[in-house]
């Protein structure tokens, strides 16, 4: 899976498991769009003998019941999806949707159409979070942006195809009706049967995908026992998790703000174009420009700004969309407005694909489904409210003329509403930016680095670097492997910075003595956690971030996971407290890869015992302590396989080194700055 080298979308599709999942997504999204067209057409046709109002009402009711499950049941479905076997959930949801779609033309009544539509959408609520939570398990971390773009293509690019197929099937039905009387009475039956089959195809594709994780948000206690939190507990956790994690909070604020503004735009766009003197064509052009901009933003934005911090990009693109929307609202010229709509769509596209990618990368596997579902339901309520509120506000403001001297300016409610929406998006974007900012590098420098690949003052390359942490119990062989890897990469021309915790800085060196020297008075567990955090804060600020900003590879002997394992597991402090402390110390900096050297504690301790110095404070802890430490390390790695490489540390040092090199080489995001000292060995990871 890691061997995908190029950055194009086809590269992601070369990952067989992701290709299958994507095929299922595209087929079932196609089915969704086709189903929407079929359901609304059938609703109109079943009410065709009634008044014009009744026909509208029945179509409106279908749309309403389609949205209802997402608004009311999404968090519950997300929480359940995290607890269920993902593959089975998707297969059952697809088979259910097949049966329900096929039943609609058979039962052929309005009430069953409503009930079946509700049930179909409820099943989709289980399918979507299971799929969302699966993607990061199949795609390497650095390809998540491409995977997000492809998923969007699968989800929305199938809409026009579905519309074309629907039109073709309607024509075909017209022809068939000459011979088969069944098709005379109803012209959408064939489309609905065809649609049902698409879900069977999706079910079969998912069924063959063995790589999908079968676990959900199961919790393990320190001794490895699996426990199941209640559904209620899962939902409460999901809400609390969203509120307490700055990145997810920033994501939620940004997405809700952006969708709210989009809802307002959708609500008042028709009136706005009419106010500008445009007709249907102008309206079409405006929407075409937004969608074209969205596509451009989604596909080119993440590539052009590849080195730019995703967290920064998310808030900034929303803020930029807000500025463009507000400026567009003040321009009374349809051509300029269409141009503004293109730029607006571009920023919205970047924001969407970045937010989607961040959700996959920053939210833990166990809570990803529920976070996504909670966000989705909030966004749907948000957009519905705003679509309704937009025209209401616009109508309330009415139309006025502003006179300054001899010059007059039309002040219309629609434009004012767009102006407010733009200002709202700007504020929300800036709030999200502040919540999520993860870099000390000034924004302008980050931007120039990302766009041009160099910095005009320093002449150095893109400020991304690569960060590897080695973790494991006592005597696992971390220092040995850090040294081997550093030498290997430096020989290949990379700038490598080797460091360790505690003790990677002068301050850290003094803290290390206090923390580990058994002659020093033992700090209380909380004080110990704070001292490790202080060491880390200094290490990140003075060593790691500056090196990454230069584009170096940083290799650290221990990092955050050691605190979670030793203080959170060994000392039994609250893992959440330790995690928050670490996040504060690192301002969210996470390794690109963590290599966990897993060794039974007695074996590792025996290795350290061969040294001629006395055991330090933590080495001197009892066997149960070290067993808890090992369990936490293993649980963390198990929960996030994309970020971890777990190696049995009982292998020889040379074998371990070869495995590390094999994993790391394909994922390094940049070539070495200078030519290698030796030619590369023919097999990755030549024995040291």
Ligand X SMILES: Nc1ncnc2c1ncn2[C@@H]1O[C@H](COP(=O)(O)OP(=O)(O)OP(=O)(O)O)[C@@H](O)[C@H]1O
Ligand Y SMILES: Cc1cn([C@H]2C[C@H](O)[C@@H](COP(=O)(O)O)O2)c(=O)[nH]c1=O
Known binder of ligand: residue 20?
Answer: no
Nearer to ligand X, 309 or 631 (CB): 631
**Separation of alpha carbons 138 and 140, rounded Å:** 7
Contact between 617 and ligand X by CB under 6 A: the answer reads no
618 binds, among ligand Y, ligand X, none (CB under 5 to 8 A by kind): ligand Y
Task: Report which secondary-structure segment, H or E, holds 644.
Answer: strand 644-648
Provide the residue count of the chain: 688
Single out the residue of 571, 466, 556, 426 nearest to residue 504, CA to CA: 556
Contact between 154 and ligand X by CB under 6 A: the answer reads no
Known binder of ligand: residue 196?
Answer: no
Which residue's CB atom is positioned nearest to ligand Y?
A: 566
Contact code string over 465-494 relative to ligand X, x by CB under 6 A: -------x-xxxxxxx--------------
Single out the residue of 362, 393, 391, 387 nearest to residue 375, CA to CA: 362
Contact between 23 and ligand X by CB under 6 A: the answer reads no
Asked whether the beta carbons of 242 and 374 are under 8 A apart, the reply is: yes
Nearer to ligand X, 513 or 577 (CB): 513
Rg over CA atoms, the chain: 28
Contact between 601 and ligand Y by CB under 6 A: the answer reads no
The packing angle between helices 86-107 and 189-207, to 10°, is 160
**Separation of alpha carbons 286 and 280, rounded Å:** 10
The residues in 128-147 that bind ligand Y, with binding defined as CB under 6 A, are none
Write down the least CB distance from residue 32 to ligand X, Å. Answer: 51
The residues in 637-656 that bind ligand X, with binding defined as CB under 6 A, are 649, 652-653, 656
Known binder of ligand: residue 474?
Answer: yes
Residue 202 CA: distances (Å) to CA of 22, 93, 103: 10, 10, 18
Contact between 501 and ligand Y by CB under 6 A: the answer reads yes
The DSSP bridge pattern shows strands 466-472 and 553-557 to be: parallel
Contact between 556 and ligand Y by CB under 6 A: the answer reads no
Q: Tell me how crowded residue 223 is: count the other CB atoms within 10 A of its CB.
A: 9
Write down the least CB distance from residue 636 to ligand X, Å. Answer: 17
The dihedral region occupied by 499, where left means phi > 0, alpha psi between -120 and 50, and beta the remainder, is: beta
Residue 383 CA: distances (Å) to CA of 87, 149, 259, 505: 31, 22, 6, 50
Write down the least CB distance from residue 440 to ligand X, Å. Answer: 29
Residue 415 CA: distances (Å) to CA of 70, 281, 384, 408, 410: 31, 19, 20, 16, 9
Contact between 532 and ligand Y by CB under 6 A: the answer reads yes
1 binds, among ligand Y, ligand X, none (CB under 5 to 8 A by kind): none
Nearer to ligand Y, 139 or 469 (CB): 469
Known binder of ligand: residue 373?
Answer: no
Contact between 448 and ligand X by CB under 6 A: the answer reads no
Of the candidate spans 97-105, 295-303, 364-372, 604-612, the one that interacts with ligand X by CB under 6 A turns out to be 604-612
Of the candidate spans 235-243, 388-396, 607-615, 675-683, the one that interacts with ligand X by CB under 6 A turns out to be 607-615
How many of the chain's residues bind ligand X (CB under 6 A)? 15
Among 141, 311, 558, 590, binds ligand Y (CB under 6 A): 558
Known binder of ligand: residue 479?
Answer: yes
Burial (CB count <10 Å: 0-12, 13-18, 19+), residue 9: middle
Single out the residue of 247, 632, 602 nearest to residue 438, CA to CA: 247
- Structure token pair of residue 143: 């390809």
Nearer to ligand X, 324 or 595 (CB): 595
Write down the least CB distance from residue 527 to ligand X, Å. Answer: 22
- Structure token pair of residue 402: 């502003």
The DSSP code for 563 is: I
Respond yes or no on whether the N-terminal peptide bond of residue 502 is cis (omega within 30° of 0): yes
Contact code string over 608-647 relative to ligand Y, x by CB under 6 A: ----------xx----------------------------
- Structure token pair of residue 599: 């060794």
Contact code string over 432-471 relative to ligand Y, x by CB under 6 A: ----------------------------------------
Known binder of ligand: residue 355?
Answer: no
| Residues at the site binding ligand Y, with contacts judged by CB under 6 A | 474, 500-502, 516, 532, 558, 562-563, 566-567, 618-619
| Residues at the site binding ligand X, with contacts judged by CB under 6 A | 472, 474-480, 607-608, 610, 649, 652-653, 656
């Amino acid at each position: 899976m890691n061997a995908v080298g190029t950055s194009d979308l086809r590269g992601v599709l070369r990952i067989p498991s992701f290709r299958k999942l994507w095929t299922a997504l595209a087929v079932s999204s196609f089915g969704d769009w086709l189903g929407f067209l079929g359901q609304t057409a059938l609703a109109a046709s079943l009410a065709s003998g009634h008044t014009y109002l009744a026909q509208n009402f029945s179509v409106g009711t279908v749309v309403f019941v389609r949205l209802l499950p997402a608004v009311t049941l999404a968090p519950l479905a997300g929480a359940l999806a995290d607890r269920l076997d993902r593959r089975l959930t998707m297969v059952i949801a697809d088979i259910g949707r097949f049966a329900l779609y096929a039943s609609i033309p058979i039962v052929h009544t309005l009430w069953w159409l409503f009930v079946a539509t509700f049930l179909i959408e409820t099943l989709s609520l289980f399918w979507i979070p299971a799929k969302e939570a699966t993607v990061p398990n199949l795609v390497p971390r650095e390809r998540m942006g491409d995977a997000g773009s492809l998923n969007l293509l699968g989800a929305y690019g199938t809409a026009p195809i579905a519309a074309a197929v629907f039109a073709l099937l309607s024509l075909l039905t017209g022809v068939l009706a000459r011979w088969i009387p069944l098709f005379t009475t109803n012209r959408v039956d064939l489309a609905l049967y065809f649609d049902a089959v698409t879900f069977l195809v999706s079910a079969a594709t998912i069924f063959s995908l063995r790589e999908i994780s079968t676990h959900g948000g199961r919790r393990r206690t320190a001794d490895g026992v699996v426990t199941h939190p209640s559904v209620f507990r899962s939902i409460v956790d999901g809400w609390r998790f969203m509120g307490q994690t700055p990145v997810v909070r920033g994501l939620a604020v940004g997405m809700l703000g952006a969708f709210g503004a989009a809802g307002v735009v959708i609500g008042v766009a028709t009136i706005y174009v009419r106010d500008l003197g445009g007709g249907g064509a102008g309206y079409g052009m405006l929407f075409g420009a937004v969608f074209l901009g969205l596509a451009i933003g989604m596909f080119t934005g993440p590539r052009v700004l590849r080195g730019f911090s995703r967290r920064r990009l998310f808030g900034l693109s929303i803020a930029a969309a807000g500025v463009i929307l507000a400026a567009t609202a003040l321009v009374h010229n349809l051509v300029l407005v269409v141009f503004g709509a293109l730029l607006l769509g571009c920023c919205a596209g970047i924001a969407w694909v970045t937010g989607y990618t961040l959700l996959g990368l920053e939210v833990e596997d166990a809570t990803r489904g529920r976070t996504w579902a909670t966000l989705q339901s909030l966004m749907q309520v948000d957009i519905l409210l705003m679509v309704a509120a937009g025209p209401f506000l616009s109508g309330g403001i009415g139309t006025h003329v502003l006179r300054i001297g001899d010059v007059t300016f039309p002040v219309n409610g629609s434009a004012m509403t767009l102006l407010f929406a733009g200002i709202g998006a700007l504020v929300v974007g800036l709030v999200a930016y502040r919540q999520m900012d993860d870099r000390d590098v000034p924004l302008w420098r980050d931007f120039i680095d990302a766009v041009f690949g160099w910095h005009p003052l320093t002449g150095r390359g893109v400020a991304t670097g690569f960060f590897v942490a080695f973790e494991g119990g006592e005597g696992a062989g971390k220092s040995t492997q850090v040294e081997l890897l550093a030498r290997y990469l430096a020989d290949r021309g990379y700038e490598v910075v080797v460091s360790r915790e505690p003790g990677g800085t002068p301050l850290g060196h003094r803290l290390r003595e206090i923390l580990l020297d058994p002659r020093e008075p033992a700090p209380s567990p909380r004080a110990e956690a704070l001292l490790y955090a202080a060491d880390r804060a200094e290490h990140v600020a003075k060593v790691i971030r500056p090196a990454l900003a230069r584009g170096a590879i940083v290799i650290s002997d221990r990092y955050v996971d050691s605190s979670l394992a030793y203080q959170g597991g060994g000392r039994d402090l609250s893992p959440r407290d330790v995690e928050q402390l670490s996040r504060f110390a690192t301002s969210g900096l996470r390794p690109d890869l963590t290599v966990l050297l897993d060794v039974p504690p007695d074996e590792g301790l025996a290795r350290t015992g061969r040294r001629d110095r006395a055991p330090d404070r933590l080495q001197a802890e009892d066997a149960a302590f070290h067993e808890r430490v090992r369990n936490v390390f293993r649980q963390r790695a198990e929960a996030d396989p994309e970020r971890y490489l777990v190696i049995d540390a009982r292998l020889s040092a040379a074998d371990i080194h070869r495995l590390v090199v094999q994993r790391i080489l394909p994922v390094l995001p940049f070539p070495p700055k200078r030519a290698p000292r030796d030619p590369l060995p023919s097999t990755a990871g030549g024995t040291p």
